[in-house]
Amino acid sequence: MPFLASLSAEQQQALQQDITETVSWALSEDLGAKTGCEPNASDDITAALIPAENTAVATVISRDECIISGLAWVNEVFKQLDASTGLNTEITWFVNDGEHVKANTTLFEISGNARTILTGERTALNFLQTLSGTASLTSTYMSALENTTTQLLDTRKTLPGLRSAQKYAVLCGGGYNHRIGLFDAFLIKENHIAACGGIANAVATAKNNHPNKKVEVEVESLDELTQALEAGSDIIMLDNFTPEMIDQAVALSNGKAKLEVSGNMTLEKLTTYAKAGVDYISVGALTKHLNAVDLSMRFK
């Protein structure tokens, strides 16, 4: 899994913890585990129709052309189910995260206890189809930025509970991550500015409170852009600027701050805005308008 390996040790540790917790939550949702209790595979009343000693081999196929993301989540599903049953499930992957596959490609083979495979099927595929959908849409948007230096960013408009998972999937699709949450960078928006008494005061307070964190300010006019530049903002988000305004913004900034374009972003607009010379384009659609990939599991 090259994308996991590319993360720092600290990032890998944080992501793995999130994977463990998210998968446990998802299995509990399916198995009806009570709060504070570990999910128990024996609570799958349909799988219990199968003799406990039965084993099986199954393959999972993608019915769609896509970019793959989510191997670690699938592995974790069966790791936790195995811990619950004391049995052993083996998964053989034929693809990697970030890999482009054609329709009807076999993604992995799974073997082990038949009950366990069926109990984990939907939870595992839910993660894989959703994250691969995120990665695939990101890749589509990235294609519109070829031969430019503009970076495609995600946003916090993620599915609840899947923040780090979807941001990982964006990396698999070739995109980049904006801030993870409300704790790791400032994004001072219209209401923050109003409550703080202006852009200058908001930026000054941010730099005083957390001098080592990036300060980004969202602006809605060229006048606000000038204020944000004078205040020493690190990044300035141009919200719903027209192409003409963006050209003026690039000239006004002249490298004093990084510029990000956001707001009602479509594929058609990406190339135009990138050619204007902005540093970043953020797109909420990457994580909220995705189409899950069509996956199918079949027993041999």
Active-site residue 239, yes or no? yes
Please tell me which residue in 156, 163, 189, 288 is annotated as part of the active site: 189
Q: Across the strands, what pairs with 106?
A: 61
Please tell me which residue in 122, 184, 190, 223 is annotated as part of the active site: 122
Active-site residue 102, yes or no? no
Nearest C-alpha neighbor of 173 from the set 120, 136, 123: 136
Active-site residue 189, yes or no? yes
Please tell me which residue in 43, 220, 239, 247 is annotated as part of the active site: 239
User: Which DSSP symbol is given to 223?
Assistant: H
Active-site residue 122, yes or no? yes
Alpha-carbon distance 203 to 201, whole Å?
A: 6
Cα separations (Å) of 249 from 13, 155, 176, 274?
Answer: 40, 22, 23, 13
* Token pair in block for residue 235: 């990044």
Please tell me which residue in 218, 224, 260, 279 is annotated as part of the active site: 218
Alpha-carbon distance 63 to 105, whole Å?
A: 7
Diameter over CA atoms, the chain: 72
Residue 59 three-state SS:
strand
Cα separations (Å) of 70 from 110, 126, 162?
Answer: 15, 10, 12
Residue with tokens 């704790």: 183
* Token pair in block for residue 97: 């995260």
Active-site residue 156, yes or no? no
Please tell me which residue in 156, 157, 213, 258 is annotated as part of the active site: 157
Is the distance from CB of 112 to CB of 90 less than 8 angstroms?
yes
Q: What share of the chain is helix, strand, coil (3-state, %, to 5)?
A: 45, 20, 35
Q: Which residues contact 146 (CB under 8 A, 6 or more apart)?
A: none
For 32-148, where are the alpha helices, taking DSSP H only?
71-85, 114-143
Residue 14 three-state SS:
helix
- Residues marked active site are found at 122, 157, 189, 218, 239
